[in-house]
Amino acid sequence: GNPVARLTGLPPATADLRFRGFSAVGVHPQRLQPENFDYAQVRPAAMWNPTSGAYTRYGEVRDLLARSDDRLVVMGSGDEIRLQFTADHLPRLPAGWTRDFLLYVDGWAKDADPNTAAGSSVEPLPFHAMRGYPDTGPPPAAAAAATLNTRPALRLIRPLAARR
Convert the pLDDT of each residue in 56-84 to its tens digit: 999 999 999 999 888 899 999 899 999 99
Predicted local distance difference test score (pLDDT) of residue 157: 63
40 φ/ψ sector (left φ>0, alpha ψ -120 to 50, else beta):
alpha
Predicted local distance difference test score (pLDDT) of residue 143: 67
Secondary structure (3-state) at 143: helix
Which strand (E) or helix (H) includes residue 147? helix 142-148
Phi and psi, residue 24, nearest 5°: -60, 140
Convert the pLDDT of each residue in 18-48 to its tens digit: 999 999 999 999 999 999 999 999 998 887 8
Convert the pLDDT of each residue in 117-132 to its tens digit: 888 899 888 888 888 8
